[in-house]
Amino acid sequence: MSEETTVLAEEKDQSAEPQKWQPSILAILCNWCSYAGADLAGSARMQYPETVRIVRVPCSGRTDPMFVLKGFQRGFDGVMVLGCHPGDCHYAKGNYYARRRIALTQDLLKSLGIAPERFHFEWVSASEGNRFAALINEFTHKLEELGPFDGVA
Amino acid sequence: MAEIQDKIREEAKKALESGEVGVVIGWGAGSVPFKTTPVFIDKPQDADKLVWNPACTNNLAVYLTRWARDGKVGIVAKPCDIRSIVTLIREKQVKRENVFIIGLGCGGVVDTGLMEAGDVRMREITSLQWDGDDLMVTTEAGAVKVPAAQALREQCKVCHDRSPAISDVSVGDAVAPSEDLKIEIPGLSEDRQKYWQEQFAKCIRCYACRQVCPACYCETCFCDRIEPKWTAKKATTDEAWMFHATRAMHLVGRCIGCGECERVCPVGIPAVELARELNAVAKERYDFEPGDPEAEKPLLGAYKENDVDPAHHSE
């Protein structure tokens, strides 16, 4: 994590120059679906912003809300969690547990006053490489409109 | 109130004499008349140290995870404390057969800080007693009546469950909530992010909120871990944000809103606010209430196939 933030900090330094600012995204991906989807997007050479940082988890159910909170604390402009479509979980029901937890994480962020648009949750299967690339592009555009995240403190 | 206190002492004495419980946890007289302190009674003759008055604020359920681990303990509990016990039993932190609950009906407990803002000077108080909807405050100068709306703690004003959800012996009648007292807790300011930044900037990371919370029962708290280091120990606003945000997330479906975290906070952070909001969502969306003895599984330890899908409403 610290290494990544250093890289991101450097990127932010460059944004002082006339270069275009690109939002940093923390993407937490399930090993069995969206991570494979990201892989497919890569091997098919689909274009999406390189400012996305991917963390692979064994299942979206492994996504502790703290991962999301930590992402915002460390200054990511947006956090994204992608998991298998309901009913398609490799571990049968991990994504169902994730669904409640993630929904409540969204509500917590709302209560804390962080724009709900900065947190994105979506179901992406292993075959949806193009959808993965499209989602990252969409999310980046949305974050560009919102502007840089001014941090939690 | 004095009758109820006698009954509590009687039940505690009985339970200790019969050897049913090794210790009874209750409230005892504090060093000043407007405060009480938790007491642990282990001899029948000491049962007379137990008190019951409008200053019995502590949620004693916080002691159960340690005290009721290996043997049976008695506990004197208000309806809100019992909701905490229900949560602990559901989450398998305490065995039902290890607690002997002396349940009380409760009309609310007082916030002595609020009274001080009025005409009453705390140092002069000699006793506190409910008289209908008013609090009878006896001072050296004489008795003063303080309206409940001025004396009650915030969470007692909005409390709906004023009779014990579960108990082994019930002492005193259930007190019906008075309609007039349901005052709405003031909403958070419009700019939430700034509001919480201001609040968390005050945090000195003393962890009093965590220590006093019956729902914070983890043996090792995430913020005490070195690896992974979720939050640093330093008292900066962003680390405090991480601590309080995570704590709020951990309290979803557990916090029964006793407000102890707010009471003990030395810098006045409204820590219960976030958990209260999330629990309102849980109630509406998942029909789950933390203190409900009917709920079998913890909120996040269960799911329904038709749960709300966050993938669609984040658009």
List, for residues A10-31, the tens digit of each pLDDT value.
Answer: 555 555 556 788 999 999 999 9
Contact assignment for B305 to A86 by CB distance below 8 Å: yes
Query: Is residue A50 a contact partner of residue A139, using CB atoms and an 8 Å limit?
Result: no
Contact assignment for A121 to B314 by CB distance below 8 Å: yes
- Nearest CA to CA, how far is A150 from chain B (Å)? 10
> How far does Cα B217 stand from its chain's mean position?
14
Contact assignment for B196 to A105 by CB distance below 8 Å: no
pLDDT on residue B315: 39
Question: How far is Cα A68 from Cα B246, in angstroms, rounded to an integer?
Answer: 10
Residue-wise burial string across B136-152, b where 16 or more C-beta atoms lie within 10 A, e elsewhere: bbebeeeebebebebbb
Residue A138 contacts B where some CB pair is shorter than 8 Å: no
Contact assignment for A69 to B242 by CB distance below 8 Å: yes
Query: Is residue B198 a contact partner of residue B130, using CB atoms and an 8 Å limit?
Result: no
Contact assignment for A69 to B191 by CB distance below 8 Å: no
pLDDT on residue A18: 63
Top pLDDT among B108 and A101 is at A101
The upper half-sphere exposure of residue B136, i.e. CA atoms within 13 Å in the direction of its Cβ, equals 10
**CB-defined contacts A:B, below 8 A:** 106
| Strand boundaries in chain B, DSSP class E | 23-29, 36-41, 73-77, 99-104, 125-131, 134-139, 142-147, 169-171
- Nearest CA to CA, how far is B206 from chain A (Å)? 19
Strand partners, A26: A53, A79
pLDDT on residue A15: 54
Question: How far is Cα B27 from Cα B154, in angstroms, rounded to an integer?
Answer: 21
Amino acid in position A36: A
- Nearest CA to CA, how far is B278 from chain A (Å)? 7
**CA-nearest residue of chain A to B286?**
A100
Per-residue pLDDT of chain B (315 residues; tens, 9 = 90+): 788 999 999 999 999 999 999 999 999 998 888 889 999 999 999 999 999 988 899 999 999 999 998 899 999 999 999 999 999 999 999 999 999 999 998 888 888 776 665 666 777 788 888 877 788 888 887 888 888 777 888 888 888 778 889 999 998 776 665 665 555 666 666 688 899 999 999 999 999 999 999 999 999 999 999 888 899 988 899 999 999 999 999 999 999 999 999 999 999 999 888 998 899 999 999 999 998 999 999 999 999 998 988 885 443
- Nearest CA to CA, how far is B151 from chain A (Å)? 29
Contact assignment for B238 to A108 by CB distance below 8 Å: no
Whether cis (ω within 30° of 0) applies to the bond prior to A116 is no
- Nearest CA to CA, how far is A48 from chain B (Å)? 20
Residue B197 contacts A where some CB pair is shorter than 8 Å: yes
Q: What is the mean pLDDT of residues A64-90?
A: 94
Average pLDDT score over chain A: 89
A101 CB neighbours in chain B (<8 A) are 300
A93 CB neighbours in chain B (<8 A) are 303
Contact assignment for B193 to A112 by CB distance below 8 Å: yes
Q: What is the DSSP string of B60-71?
A: GGGGHHHHTSSS
Amino acid in position A131: R
- Whether domain A23-146 has CATH 3.40.50.960: yes
Question: How far is Cα A68 from Cα B250, in angstroms, rounded to an integer?
Answer: 14
Question: How far is Cα B58 from Cα B28, in angstroms, rounded to an integer?
Answer: 11
Structure tokens at B290: 């933390």
Question: DSSP character for B128?
Answer: E
B286 CB neighbours in chain A (<8 A) are 100
Amino acid in position A153: A
- The string of pLDDT tens digits covering residues A132-149 is 999 999 999 999 999 999
Query: Is residue B84 a contact partner of residue B255, using CB atoms and an 8 Å limit?
Result: no
Structure tokens at A50: 């390189």
What residues 232-271 of chain B have any CB closer than 8 A to a CB of chain A?
A: 236-242, 245-246, 248-249, 252
Query: Is residue B110 a contact partner of residue B152, using CB atoms and an 8 Å limit?
Result: yes
What residues 9-38 of chain B have any CB closer than 8 A to a CB of chain A?
A: none
Residue A8 contacts B where some CB pair is shorter than 8 Å: no
Closest partner residue to B308 among A70, A103, A122, by Cβ? A103
Amino acid in position B306: N
Residue B282 contacts A where some CB pair is shorter than 8 Å: yes
CB atoms within 10 A of CB B214: 26
Domains of chain B, each with CATH number or no CATH: 1-109+160-182 (no CATH), 186-300 (1.10.1060)
Contact assignment for A108 to B245 by CB distance below 8 Å: yes
Contact assignment for A107 to B281 by CB distance below 8 Å: yes
Question: How far is Cα B160 from Cα A88, in angstroms, rounded to an integer?
Answer: 42
Question: How far is Cα B214 from Cα B105, in angstroms, rounded to an integer?
Answer: 20
A96 CB neighbours in chain B (<8 A) are 303, 305, 307
pLDDT on residue B81: 95
Name the CA dihedral angle for A77, A83, A85, A90, rounded to a multiple of 10 degrees. Answer: 180
**CA-nearest residue of chain A to B239?**
A73
Furthest-apart CA atoms within chain B: distance in Å: 65
* Of residues B208, B214, B210, the one with CA closest to residue B62: B214
pLDDT on residue A5: 54
Closest partner residue to A99 among B193, B197, B309, by Cβ? B309
Percent of chain A with pLDDT over 90: 82
Amino acid in position B288: F
Question: How far is Cα B22 from Cα B28, in angstroms, rounded to an integer?
Answer: 18
Q: In chain B, helix, strand, coil percent, each to 5?
A: 40, 15, 45
